[in-house]
Amino acid sequence: MFKRFNKDEPIRAPSLVPDPAAAAAKAAAARAPSGPAKIKRKEKVAPIVDLEAESKEAKRRQKLLDIRMDLHKRLLETLNLSALDKASNDDLKREVLAITREGLREMGVVLNNADQEELTADLMHEVTGLGPLEPLLRDPTINDILVNGSQQIFVERGGKLELTQVKFKDERHLLRVIDKIVSAVGRRVDESQPYVDARLADGSRFNAMVPPCAVDGSLVSIRKFTKDKLSIDELINFGAFNEAMATYLQAAVATRLNIIVSGGTGSGKTTTLNALSGFIDNTERIVTIEDTAELQLQQIHVGRMESRPPNVEGKGEVSQRDLLRNALRMRPDRIIVGETRGNEVIDMLQAMNTGHDGSMTTIHANSARDAVARLENMIAMSGVEMPIKASRSQIASAVNLIVQVSRLQDGSRRMVSITEVTGMEGDIIQMQEIFKFQRRGIDENNKIVGSFVSCGLRSAYTERFEQWGFHLPTEIYAGGDL
């Protein structure tokens, strides 16, 4: 358990207390020959595929799919749809079961119990939920669901993409489910408005793109909402960062540094932002601004805002920038913008510079340098005429810390760098990396081997930390493994 740093009594970060076992392991590792010889790759063995069994299973699934579509049609004809909302789940299930039995009898199909149960469950999902997607939405081990046309559904589990057996009957079936989702939130998706963002009833983030813009059938991406966002402790347990880094981050958040979490798609930016916000004091008023409300702050005083796209007539848009400007009139102590991606950047930086320090946001970039370049680009594209030096100095004085997260090739998500922005020298923004993840190779299970190291530089904010009562142990800056 990450023991929160107590401002008043200096402690040693727990991971810095020498652990004899770890020290012995480290010494053994140091003795082991280094270099490429350490890096083992698993031999790729072609899997033995039972083609006959596979095609039998595929045929069975196809048959079930056909029966299901047929029964689904009957259900819609027979069930009183307007009474659906009021019916209890048990009543509905009884009704669906009766119609299923009757339909199967009329079709002259005999199914075993397991198949019949699967069929009834599928039909219930068709009637009450999102059809074939429903079991995937309920599976807690799945983070993302990615539909590429009706026949191909991928999921992300444990950081890796897998192809599932789940399929839609055809494009029309898929479109019907998309339509159900978007019409529930008062949106429309068709040829004239071929893409849409929405939030599912359970809070999951949903995006769909339909033909003709989606070339081979509709594309759907769902980032599943997790009720229990990963906490600092869980992230430490998963190896996303370690306790020394957590201690530093706690001081950074508590002393109101402006922080940018940078990373690629699905690298864990929102999760990190959420976890960092856990270090904010309960007495502060926080305002959050997002395109799709995903953050779940634990504090009691939080005002959540969500932007809105224009309606079908192209009116009524409320952008993140509008929300940000409005937020400034709401007396926030801190502003958290879910992701900075457009012209709200100017207002964000200004807010950071003018009394709303301690603000945080995420940005889509591959390194701390890249994050700064992205900010510069966003300023340039926002239509504000500003010489490059002026926008750089704006960035340098607004941003204190860039936390880089990354999804590595073994599926693990890690904080790969914590970099401080220390000012300008001439035209160049100065930065110093304090901690990073040092990769060393790959083990026999194709897992990345490495450790978190401090880069040997003392934090430029040490004085500030001290003034606020955070006397961090100096060893964390000493360089080498943490």
Ligand X SMILES: Nc1ncnc2c1ncn2[C@@H]1O[C@H](COP(=O)(O)OP(=O)(O)OP(=O)(O)O)[C@@H](O)[C@H]1O
**Tokens 């849409």 label which residue?**
196
| In 115-236, beta strands by DSSP E | 142-148, 153-157, 160-163, 195-199, 205-209, 219-223
Q: What sign does the CA torsion over 437, 442, 443, 445 have? A: positive
- Count of other CB atoms within 10 angstroms of residue 450: 18
- Assess contact for 191 and 442: CB atoms under 8 A: no
Q: Residue 292 binds which one of Mg ion, ligand X, none, with CB within 5 to 8 A depending on kind? A: none
Nearer to ligand X, 120 or 262 (CB): 262
- Minimum gap (Å) between residue 113 Cβ and ligand X: 35
Q: How far is the CB of 396 from ligand X (least distance, A)?
A: 25
From 28-36, 184-192, 246-254, 265-273, give the range in contact with ligand X by CB under 6 A: 265-273
Torsion of CA 165, 168, 174, 177, to 10 degrees: -90
242 SS3 class: coil
* SS3 (DSSP) at 133: helix
User: Alpha-carbon distance 120 to 118, whole Å?
Assistant: 6
d(CA 413, CA 406): 6
Q: Give the pair of three-digit tokens for residue 405.
A: 């997260």
- Contact between 143 and ligand X by CB under 6 A: the answer reads yes
Considering only 271, 288, 340, 417, the residue that binds ligand X (CB under 6 A) is 271
Residues 14, 129, 266, 441: which binds ligand X (CB under 6 A)?
266
Distance in angstroms (rounded) separating the CA atoms of residues 325 and 335: 11
Work out whether 326 is an interface residue with ligand X (CB under 6 A): no
Task: Please identify, using beta-carbon distances, which residue of 269 and 374 lies nearer to Mg ion.
Answer: 269
Residue pair 279/249 in contact (Cβ under 8 Å)? The answer is yes
How far apart (Å, rounded) are the C-alpha atoms in residues 88 and 73? 21
Rg of the chain over CA atoms, in angstroms? 26
Residue 221 backbone class (left: φ over 0; alpha: ψ -120 to 50; beta: rest): beta
Choosing from 267, 361, 404, 454, the residue that interacts with ligand X (CB under 6 A) is: 267
Can you tell me which of 132, 268, 358, 450 binds ligand X, judged by CB under 6 A?
Answer: 268
Q: By C-beta, is 265 or 326 nearer to ligand X?
A: 265
Of 270 and 361, nearer to Mg ion (C-beta) is 270
226-245 residues in contact with ligand X (CB under 6 A) are: 226, 230, 235, 238, 240
3-state class of 107 per DSSP? helix
Smallest separation, CB 202 to ligand X (Å) = 13
* E strand intervals along 307-400: 334-337, 360-364
Choose between 361 and 400: whose C-beta lies nearer to ligand X. 361
Q: Does 270 bind ligand X (CB under 6 A)?
A: yes
Nearest Cα neighbor of 296 from 346, 227, 235 is: 227
Based on the shown chain and the rule CB under 6 A, indicate whether residue 265 belongs to the binding site for ligand X.
Answer: yes
Give the x/- contact pattern for ligand X in 403-442, rule: CB under 6 A. ----------x-----------------------------
Q: How far apart (Å, rounded) are the C-alpha atoms in residues 150 and 243?
A: 45
Q: Which does 436 bind (CB under 5 to 8 A by kind): Mg ion, ligand X, none?
A: none
265 binds, among Mg ion, ligand X, none (CB under 5 to 8 A by kind): ligand X
Residue closest to Mg ion (Cβ): 270
Is 10 one of the binding residues for ligand X (CB under 6 A)? no
| Binding residues vs Mg ion (CB under 5 A) | 269-270
**Using the rule CB under 6 A, which residue among 72, 256, 269, 374 binds ligand X?**
269
Q: How far apart are CA 436 and CA 456, in angstroms?
A: 11
3-state secondary structure of 431: strand
Q: How far is the CB of 448 from ligand X (least distance, A)?
A: 13
Closer to ligand X by CB, 236 or 287: give it.
Answer: 236
Residue nearer to ligand X on the CB measure, 271 or 361: 271
Beta-strand pair 142-148/448-454: unpaired
Interface of this chain with ligand X, residues 82 to 111, rule: CB under 6 A: none
Query: Closest CB to ligand X among 272 and 454?
Result: 272
Binding track over 245-264 against ligand X, x by CB under 6 A = ------------------x-
Quick one: 269 or 392, whose CB is closer to Mg ion?
A: 269
Residues engaged in binding ligand X (CB under 6 A): 143, 223, 226, 230, 235, 238, 240, 263, 265-271, 413
